[in-house]
């Protein structure tokens, strides 16, 4: 039977690096997935991923188990994503252009890939165009709208879970999600029409 998060945390606090590695392994795909949806470059997502687990490692002794470890971890992930965005914007390095095709590796990039039953080159090109448009539309959202939209639609979290991660009310999360959805619909109106 696999050890619980609590057991791994207790062992990691005692200096057991293998226990910490197991915690990382248990949650690494989700953390990277959130980061990859929040930024346009896989290198940026890797930077966020590393920063998240560095903060988790440094803060593990202070984790009080008042919430689930996963909630605490995703709150850190969200904060790192928002801080990263703020710092990039402050330094005028944040492009917000949806920068697709900038040489990032496809593996683990977290990019949206439209799924098609028709493998024809025309359909593949159309799917990539839709994916590109969705990525660009995501870039117009505020950081908190983007985070809520990502956690809800790409990671599958419930509104109450997102509210817990963001330390806000469910109503606030609903407002962010509603605004994000409206803005996405406006940006993708022509794409949605073609599928109607």
The DSSP code sequence of 126-170 is HHHHHHHHHHHHHTTS-HHHHHHHIIIIIS---HHHHHHHHTS-H
- 148: tokens are 């809520």
* Cα–Cα distance measured from residue 113 to residue 131, given in angstroms and rounded to the nearest whole number: 6
Check: CB of residue 192 under 8 Å from CB of residue 185. yes
pLDDT in tens, 83-133: 887 766 544 433 333 333 333 333 333 443 444 444 466 665 666 776 777
Q: Which of 2.60.260.20, 3.30.420.10, 2.60.120.10, 1.10.1740.10 would CATH assign to domain 1-95? A: 1.10.1740.10
Domain ranges in the chain?
A: 1-95, 120-196
**Predicted TM-score (pTM) of this structure:** 0.61
Angle, vertex CA 88, rays to CA 185 and CA 191, nearest 5:
15
Q: Which of 1.10.10.10, 2.60.120.380, 1.10.1040.10, 3.40.50.970 would CATH assign to domain 120-196? A: 1.10.10.10
Q: How many residues in total does the chain contain?
A: 196
């Amino acid at each position: 039977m696999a050890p619980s998060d609590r057991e791994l945390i207790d062992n990691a606090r005692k200096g057991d690096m293998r226990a910490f590695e197991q915690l990382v392994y248990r949650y690494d795909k989700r953390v990277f997935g959130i980061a990859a949806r929040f930024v346009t470059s896989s290198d940026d997502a890797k930077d966020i991923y590393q920063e998240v687990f560095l903060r988790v490692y440094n803060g593990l002794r202070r984790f009080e188990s008042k919430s689930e470890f996963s909630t605490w971890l995703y709150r850190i992930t969200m904060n790192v994503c928002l801080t990263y965005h703020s710092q990039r914007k402050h330094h005028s390095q944040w492009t917000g252009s949806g920068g697709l095709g900038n040489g990032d590796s496809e593996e683990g990039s977290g990019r949206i890939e439209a799924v098609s039953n028709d493998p024809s080159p025309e359909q593949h090109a159309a799917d990539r165009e839709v994916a590109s448009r969705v990525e660009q539309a995501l870039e117009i959202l505020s950081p908190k709208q983007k985070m809520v939209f990502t956690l809800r639609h790409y990671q599958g979290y419930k509104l109450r879970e997102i509210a817990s991660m963001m330390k806000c009310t469910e109503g606030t999360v609903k407002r962010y999600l509603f605004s994000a959805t409206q803005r996405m619909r406006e940006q993708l109106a022509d794409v949605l029409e073609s599928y109607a």
